[in-house]
Amino acid sequence: MIAEGLIRQLRAELDDGGLRGSFLVRDLRSGTELGIDPDLQFPIASLVKVPLVLATLERIRRGELDGATPLEVAPGKNTTPGPTGLTRFRHPARIAIDDLLYLSVAISDGTAADVLFELTPPAEVMRMLGEWGLSGIFVRHLVGDLLDTPAERFEPADVDLAHALAIGAVTAGQGHRIAQLDVTRANAGSARSFVDLAQALWTPSKIDPDVAERVRELMGLNLLRHRLTPDFASDAARWSSKTGTLLNLRHEVGVVEHADGQVFAVAALTESRVPAGVQPEAEVLMARVARTLRDHLRGGAA
């Protein structure tokens, strides 16, 4: 009954802040979990880079790829505010596959990710997720496709118009006139599917232990730390994660490892109905909701 009351309270806070979302926190030691609409599907934006990197590392382990192989990478030629890394490069570069993995996760480099997708296409990533028994994550298109949205067709000063279109163009059944926001066409997933993936990476599973360890390491190097990190990282807690952002979508999935041995997987996938590109209040709210769920579970496990 206490948990039910807490969920109602957090739903109300999200609604008051103009958000709806799919949240799930799971104690990876006991399996106990608490969430808000954890099975609700959302377009996952850059969260897709985690299964992509996982599949690439598995192919390296199998000998199908060599992580030391240098690849010629064309410049991203992107002028939209936000993208980092190779997406901003003006000249070709030669980069090893191992380093493309780092760029894809640590700074969420879309150009690096699409070079990896050339090696391991979306359909192959999906097939490998099936091999590991991981369902509910749908990999359908390249990361570069995320750059073809209304946000790229407006001047920076008019970004609110792009967000207004994203908010207003939703159809019944979570369809959307913008393909990248339509869960039947976009890369998609839920809080539960990403917590399942995190559990498979942090606890024994069908994923090779060395591959899982490397993915954990890469997620621990994530430099985008403005969203959930302030509520989960401390001197006594290690936070490893991946963010995803597209128009009015703000996501983060990670694992917090406490010095006392407790380990929690956390997934927060959100959609805002506020037509603004910069929403620090939304970042704070989604982090507070995720931490409140974790705190409730942690208190029960203590």
Output phi, psi for 104, to 5 deg. Answer: -65, -40
Summarize the confidence of residues 45-63 as an average pLDDT. 97
Query: What pLDDT is stored for residue 197 in this prediction?
Result: 98
State pLDDT tens for residues 197-216. 999 999 999 999 999 999 99
Q: How many CA atoms lie within 13 A of 5 on its CB side?
A: 2
Task: Supply the DSSP symbol for 147.
Answer: G
129-133, 272-276, 288-292: least confident range: 272-276
Q: Is residue 132 a contact partner of residue 55, using CB atoms and an 8 Å limit?
A: no
| Angstrom distance (rounded) from CA 202 to CA 215 | 10
Summarize the confidence of residues 271-276 as an average pLDDT. 82
State pLDDT tens for residues 87-143. 888 899 999 999 999 999 999 998 999 999 999 999 999 999 999 999 999 999 998
Summarize the confidence of residues 63-70 as an average pLDDT. 98
| Kind plus residue range of the DSSP H or E element containing 215 | helix 209-220
Q: Per-residue pLDDT for 288 more than 80? A: yes
Query: What pLDDT is stored for residue 240 in this prediction?
Result: 98
Confidence of residue 296 (pLDDT cuts 50, 70, 90): very high
Summarize the confidence of residues 251-268 as an average pLDDT. 97
Beta bridge pairs of residue 70: 96
Give the position of tokens 């009954």. Answer: 1
| Angstrom distance (rounded) from CA 11 to CA 34 | 13
Query: What pLDDT is stored for residue 90 in this prediction?
Result: 85
Beta bridge pairs of residue 33: 26
| Angstrom distance (rounded) from CA 202 to CA 219 | 11
81-90, 159-168, 227-236: least confident range: 159-168
Q: Per-residue pLDDT for 283 more than 70? A: yes
Confidence of residue 297 (pLDDT cuts 50, 70, 90): very high
**Between the ranges 75-84, 163-172, 184-193, where is the mean pLDDT highest?**
184-193
| Angstrom distance (rounded) from CA 198 to CA 215 | 10
3-state helix, strand, coil in the chain (%, to 5): 50, 20, 30
Output phi, psi for 285, to 5 deg. Answer: -65, -45
Q: What percent of the chain has pLDDT over 70?
A: 83
Between 278 and 137, where is the model more confident? 137
State pLDDT tens for residues 2-11. 789 999 999 9
Residues 6 or more apart in contact with residue 292 via CB below 8 angstroms: 6, 10
Q: Is residue 242 a contact partner of residue 225, using CB atoms and an 8 Å limit?
A: no
Q: Per-residue pLDDT for 295 more than 90? A: yes
Beta bridge pairs of residue 265: 26, 255
Q: Per-residue pLDDT for 302 more than 50? A: no
Average pLDDT, the chain: 88
Output phi, psi for 32, to 5 deg. Answer: -65, 140
49-53, 96-100, 295-299: least confident range: 295-299
| Angstrom distance (rounded) from CA 281 to CA 276 | 11
